[in-house]
């Protein structure tokens, strides 16, 4: 930015958004906030992309209060949040292991009227696996299906949830649903199946192979 300004070229909103996105990807929330402040001082009006990037940068560092602060700023300025605004807030709380607050923002997303997609569900279910909360993961998985949303990555995430608990029957059920919906299992899907067998009471290699073979029938 300094080089642009010295050369007599004023950065645009797009210029700032590119820099903000880079800050978000590198987790530099403090630099993202500084950049947004500089953008405002220069007389430019940040858009939803600008704020989403700052929230995402805060999320990457688990800076929940800062993420929520910028969300409030969006509302004050009349900038409508997008699904990725809420995903950023969810990610921020999941970063510090706060499933309760993450679920709060997931419910706020549903109430907002914004069209849902698989990304928010994937983030929630993956976090539930890391937090060991199978019940919450199942609730959001079922909610996703009720919304008519299906994606192989979310099915794989749910397989991994059950796999982490060694719940072969539930794991197999989700795998069969994945195939019935004409999704192709990938490496992560099979890794989940193998992990589930390892953590269950499958005692030997013959049983292990039988479980996997039955999943493919």
pLDDT in tens, the chain (217 residues): 666 666 677 778 999 999 999 999 888 999 999 999 999 998 999 999 999 999 999 999 999 999 999 999 999 999 999 999 999 999 999 999 999 999 999 999 999 999 999 999 999 999 899 888 999 999 999 999 999 999 999 999 999 999 888 888 898 899 989 999 999 989 999 888 888 877 776 555 555 565 566 655 5
pTM reported for the whole predicted model: 0.85
The Cα–Cα gap between 105 and 102 comes to 5
pLDDT of residue 206: 55
**DSSP for 117-176, written as a single string:** -HHHHHHHHHHHHHHT-HHHHHHHHHHHHHTT---HHHHHHHHHHHHHTT-HHHHHHHHH
- Long-range CB pairs of 125-130 (<8 Å, 24+ gap) are 125/154, 125/157, 125/158, 125/161, 126/157, 126/160, 127/94, 127/99, 127/102, 128/99, 128/161, 129/157, 129/160, 129/161, 129/164
pLDDT of residue 197: 78
The Cα–Cα gap between 129 and 162 comes to 8
Q: 3-state class of 177 per DSSP?
A: helix
pLDDT of residue 140: 96
pLDDT of residue 195: 83
pLDDT of residue 168: 84
Alpha helices for the chain (secondary structure H): 2-6, 13-26, 29-41, 48-60, 64-76, 83-95, 99-112, 118-131, 134-146, 152-164, 168-180, 187-199, 205-216
pLDDT of residue 210: 58
pLDDT of residue 69: 96
pLDDT of residue 194: 83
The Cα–Cα gap between 35 and 101 comes to 28
pLDDT of residue 131: 87
What domains does the chain contain, in order, with CATH numbers? 1-115 (1.25.40.10), 116-217 (1.25.40.10)
pLDDT of residue 183: 93
């Amino acid at each position: 930015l300094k080089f642009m300004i010295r050369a007599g070229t004023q950065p645009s909103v797009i210029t700032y958004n590119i820099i903000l996105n880079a800050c978000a990807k590198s987790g530099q929330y403090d630099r993202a906030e500084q950049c947004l402040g500089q953008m405002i001082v220069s007389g430019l009006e940040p858009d939803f992309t600008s704020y989403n990037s700052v929230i995402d940068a805060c999320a990457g560092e688990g800076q929940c209060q800062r993420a929520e602060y910028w969300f409030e700023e969006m509302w004050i300025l009349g900038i409508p949040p997008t699904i990725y605004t809420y995903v950023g807030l969810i990610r921020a709380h999941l970063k510090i292991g706060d499933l309760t607050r993450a679920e709060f923002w997931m419910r706020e997303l549903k109430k907002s009227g914004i069209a849902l997609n698989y990304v928010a569900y994937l983030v929630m279910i993956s976090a539930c696996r890391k937090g060991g909360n199978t019940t919450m993961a199942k609730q959001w998985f079922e909610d996703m299906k009720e919304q008519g949303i299906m994606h192989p990555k979310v099915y794989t995430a749910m397989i991994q949830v059950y796999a982490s608990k060694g719940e072969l029957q539930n794991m197999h059920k989700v795998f069969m649903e994945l195939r019935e919906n004409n999704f192709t299992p990938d490496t992560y899907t099979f890794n989940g199946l193998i992990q589930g067998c390892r953590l269950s009471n499958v005692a030997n290699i013959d049983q292990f192979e039988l479980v996997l073979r039955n999943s493919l029938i």
